[in-house]
Amino acid sequence: MRLLTVLTELGPRACGEFEGFYVDLHLADPTLPNSVKGILALGSEGVRRASAALPKGTEKYDPAEAVLLAPVPDPAKIVCLGLNYRDHAAESKMDVPTEPILFSKYATTLIGHNAPIILPPASTEVDYEAELVIVIGVGGRAIPRERALEHVGGYAVGHDVSARDWQLGKPGKQWMAGKTFDTFAPVGPAVVTADEVPDPQALGIRLRLNGKTMQDSNTNQLVFPVDEIVAYLSNIFTLEPGDLIFTGTPPGVGMARQPPVWLQPGDIVEVEIDGLGTLRNPVIRR
């Protein structure tokens, strides 16, 4: 099923997509938590109960009017991998990593489908990156690789917006600052639960800038696959329900082009992943 977080007069509401509407799950079944994170924390049982609640929904939101937040708007962690597609490492003139390259974003980066990416005055080199996002369901630590997928609640389309002048131009080769300006992590529209994604390493992934295709690849190009990422990270910290893991971007980013392409006010960026949907965000300067 597709789980979303809709901002309503009642505040953020966990919803499931059903017959063309977003159905408020907690109002359909008050025993369900009113958060996507809370539902995913219940594992496959939570998904089963949420699916069963959908036809009983009393409150439905029209997708044409609903304001979407990121499907998990308040994760405990947003962990990101860099250089996790072989071809992207090559276009970045960096070696294919032998272990995951990690950085973080903060929850203040998160925005939902259709919300604006705000270009910060401090950067003149803001770039785009299409990414598959892993959403943790049942938490755990020191998870063996062969059980790692049991801890994945679902997947979402993500966009790792990146200020290259901050990512690459600051002392110490630090990446984090360039990656975590406010609004730099669009995610959505929905989390698609893992039961509907039989192979996360076989998904076409594309990014369009103002309708023009800039990235076009497949998650079969991932250097570190989903199960290995989850197992690796769980040896560092406890993975908790709703944690988001950005898995890296394929080739075609703006900094690798001649001349480079940077996001401009008025741009529209769409990231599309097979079976997960299309995440669309306008770009503004404020």
Taking the complex as a whole, the smallest distance from the CB of residue 131 to Mn ion amounts, in Å, to 6
The contact pattern for Mn ion, residues 94-133, with x = CB under 5 A and - = no contact, is -----------------------------------x----
Q: Within 166-185, which residues bind Mn ion (CB under 5 A)? A: none
Q: Between residues 42 and 157, which has the closer beta carbon with respect to Mn ion?
A: 157
Taking the complex as a whole, the smallest distance from the CB of residue 162 to Mn ion amounts, in Å, to 6
Which tokens belong to 107? 């929850």
Q: Between residues 17 and 129, which has the closer beta carbon with respect to Mn ion?
A: 129
Taking the complex as a whole, the smallest distance from the CB of residue 238 to Mn ion amounts, in Å, to 23
# chain residues binding Mn ion, by CB under 5 A: 3
CA distance 63 to 51: 18
Contacts of the segment 96-104: beta carbons below 8 A, 24+ positions apart: 96/223, 97/223, 99/232, 100/224, 100/229, 100/232, 100/233, 102/233, 103/175, 103/176, 103/179, 104/77, 104/78, 104/79, 104/80, 104/176, 104/179, 104/180
Least Cα distance to 206 among 236, 152, 249 occurs for: 249
- Under DSSP, is residue 187 helix (H, G, I), strand (E, B) or coil? strand
Choices 70-78, 93-101, 107-115, 242-250; region in contact with Mn ion by CB under 5 A: 242-250
Q: Does 219 bind Mn ion (CB under 5 A)?
A: no
Cβ atoms < 10 Å from Cβ of 220? 12
Dihedral sign from CA coordinates of 181, 276, 244, 74? positive
Q: Which residue is closest to Mn ion by CB?
A: 160
Choices 64-72, 155-163, 180-188, 195-203; region in contact with Mn ion by CB under 5 A: 155-163
Taking the complex as a whole, the smallest distance from the CB of residue 165 to Mn ion amounts, in Å, to 16
Which tokens belong to 185? 């992590």
Taking the complex as a whole, the smallest distance from the CB of residue 101 to Mn ion amounts, in Å, to 10
Q: Between residues 160 and 227, which has the closer beta carbon with respect to Mn ion?
A: 160
Taking the complex as a whole, the smallest distance from the CB of residue 1 to Mn ion amounts, in Å, to 27
The contact pattern for Mn ion, residues 243-262, with x = CB under 5 A and - = no contact, is ------x-------------
Q: Within 56-85, which residues bind Mn ion (CB under 5 A)? A: none
Instruction: Find all residues with CB under 8 Å of 189, minimum gap 6, and list them.
Output: 2, 4, 68, 71, 112, 113, 157, 277, 278, 279
* The residue count for the chain: 286
Taking the complex as a whole, the smallest distance from the CB of residue 130 to Mn ion amounts, in Å, to 9
Least Cα distance to 145 among 220, 77, 234, 240 occurs for: 234
Task: Report the residue from 125, 160, 227, 267 that binds Mn ion according to the rule CB under 5 A.
Answer: 160
CA distance 104 to 179: 8
Cβ atoms < 10 Å from Cβ of 213? 12
Taking the complex as a whole, the smallest distance from the CB of residue 45 to Mn ion amounts, in Å, to 33
Contacting residues toward Mn ion, per CB under 5 A = 129, 160, 249
